[in-house]
Amino acid sequence: GAVVSQHPSWVICKSGTSVKIECRSLDFQATTMFWYRQFPKQSLMLMATSNEGSKATYEQGVEKDKFLINHASLTLSTLTVTSAHPEDSSFYICSARRQGRSNQPQHFGDGTRLSIL
């Protein structure tokens, strides 16, 4: 079964709305989680690395004030798309790897399809 839960799975909202997406590791602790964005027929592009108890690390070209990341506990990271516009419409997906273990695969959430009208 899923070891990383992502919610909501689908959001449709008006331009200017802020949208929060949650990513939870269900049976393990993750000091680090990752947020990706995937446009139609394209690859998963790393947006940021979410670090528990500290600031997220953003990839070049990703606006930190636009995409707010909070990682307040060892099992939860949130991504808030602030003042969303149609160009922010995309598939957002998080992933995590079990803390403290090497040779473990990344576990992905089911993704959130965000549509801004």
Using CB under 8 A as the criterion, which residues of the chain lie in contact with another protein when the complex forms?
30-32, 34, 42-46, 49, 51, 91, 93, 95, 97-106, 108-111, 113
Q: What angle do CA 85, 89, 90 make, to 5 degrees?
A: 150
Q: What is the 3-state secondary structure (H, E, C) of 45-56?
A: EEEEEEECCCCC
Q: How far is the CB of 83 from another protein (least distance, A)?
A: 26
Residue (19 or 30) nearer to another protein, CB: 30
Instruction: Quote the DSSP letter at residue 114.
Output: E
| Cis peptide bond N-terminal to 86, omega within 30 | no
Query: What is the C-alpha separation between 110 and 9, in angstroms, rounded?
Result: 7
Residue (86 or 105) nearer to another protein, CB: 105
Q: How far is the CB of 16 from another protein (least distance, A)?
A: 26
Q: How far is the CB of 44 from another protein (least distance, A)?
A: 5
Q: How far is the CB of 111 from another protein (least distance, A)?
A: 6
Q: Which residues of 16-38 are buried (b: 16+ CB within 10 A; e: fewer)?
A: eeebebbbbbeebebebbbbbbe
Residue (18 or 55) nearer to another protein, CB: 55
Residue (33 or 116) nearer to another protein, CB: 33
